[in-house]
Amino acid sequence: MKGVPRCIRVPKRDGEDVRRRLADSELLDAKYKISRDGEHLNIPVLCDSFEGYEAFDSPADMSESHSKDYKEILDFPDRLNEELPSSYDMIGDVAIIKIPDMLMPYKERIGEAMMEATPSLRTVMMDSGVKGEFRVRELEKIAGTGTSETVHKEFGVRITVDPSLVYFNPRLATERARVALSVKDGERIIDMFAGVAPFPLVISKLAHPEVIYAVDLNPDAERFMKINIENNHAKNIVPITGDAREAVKRLPKADRIIMNLPQSSDAFLDSALEAANKGAVIHMHRVLERAEADVFASDLVERMRSAGYDIHIARTSELKTYSPTMSVYVFDIVKD
Ligand SMILES: C[S@@+](CC[C@H](N)C(=O)[O-])C[C@H]1O[C@@H](n2cnc3c(N)ncnc32)[C@H](O)[C@@H]1O
């Protein structure tokens, strides 16, 4: 069977080293086989670029060990098959899937089919949405064993998390690496909405900041942060439980601030700017209607100017689709 994964084209002599580093970083797309192309190898990847190699679409054979498509195992009639989700989140060995109402009577069968299709799965959880101030997912086990606590690997970092207790988004891996790779030696960083600290952990692994303060309101977040700091020997991360607005007032001024609270991050931007050095970069994630993103950005600059802060937006990027009309954006804001 063939597919069209994203691949990077690497000289044969470097192939094995690059493959190993991709696997260590959890960025190798093991569903597909590596193919030869003259003196190069096309290596399937789960990212847009790796170590300077840009990814492109390239036909490849499926690897034999690859999990089957759970839809094929279910073999539902077309009318139901069309409603089956084509993607789901994998956090460690836990799969998290949203199931449409009309498929509720079949939820256990769907979970069992996913387990059969992907033997490395330990449990399948049905996701009924993110709720409350802590942005925690409402999860129900539909197949497998154990709880939703698991260890997720990303860029060589081991992230222990229970997504039923603390928010975690495995789809932000590339964004976390991007932020980490822009950190300069000796920076002071604040993550205002850190969860179990995936941004600080990846930064601590890939860069050399002086300190990263990881703030979250959810007391369970601090518990997992402490486990993650210990397991990854990330001694420069300082976990703090509390409201970001209050917590930043007690911290030394930062060179970089991460604001991953996509529903309302801009409401905290004045506090972030107060906590930032001149020239500091603030990575602010925000869910927006696609049609309104440009206006939002220019309004934001004006709003901050009226509040007494000069800023400019150095970079805007659409990270992922959120709904048919909305996307998650990241604004890299510089304090002037
Ligand atoms: C979208 S999650 C981000 C988690 C993390 N950055 C990640 O990538 O997985 C937002 C986090 O902000 C926390 N939060 C919400 N309001 C907060 C506040 N006022 N102060 C500090 N943390 C807050 C929530 O508990 C949640 O863990």
> What ranges do the domains of the chain cover?
2-61, 70-148, 166-335
- Specify the residue for token string 């990027």: 317
CATH of 166-335, one of 3.40.50.300, 3.90.1150.10, 3.40.50.1820, 3.40.50.150: 3.40.50.150
pLDDT of amino acid 1: 64
pLDDT over 90 at 265, yes or no = yes
Least Cα distance to 273 among 192, 197, 215, 216 occurs for 192
pLDDT per residue over 44-63, tens digit each? 998 888 888 988 888 888 77
Decide: 148 and 162 in contact? Cβ < 8 Å: yes
Give the closest residue (by CA) to ligand 1 atom 4: 195
Give the mean pLDDT of 5-15: 92
Give the CA distances from residue 84 to residues 68, 103, 105, in Å, rounded to whole numbers and listed in that order: 15, 8, 13
CATH of 2-61, one of 1.10.3720.10, 3.90.1150.10, 3.40.50.720, 3.30.70.2580: 3.30.70.2580
Is any ligand 1 atom within 6 A of the Cβ of residue 198? yes
Band the pLDDT of 65: cuts 50, 70, 90: low
Quote the Cα angle for 291-295-299, to 5°.
150
pLDDT per residue over 211-255, tens digit each? 999 999 999 999 999 999 999 999 999 999 999 999 999 999 999
| The model's pTM | 0.83
Is any ligand 1 atom within 6 A of the Cβ of residue 215? yes
Least Cα distance to 122 among 87, 154, 91 occurs for 91
The alpha carbon of residue 56 and the mean position of all alpha carbons in its chain are separated, in whole angstroms, by 21
Is any ligand 1 atom within 6 A of the Cβ of residue 271? no
Angstrom distance (rounded) from CA 3 to CA 69? 12
Q: Crossing angle of helices 198-206/173-181, nearest 10°?
A: 50
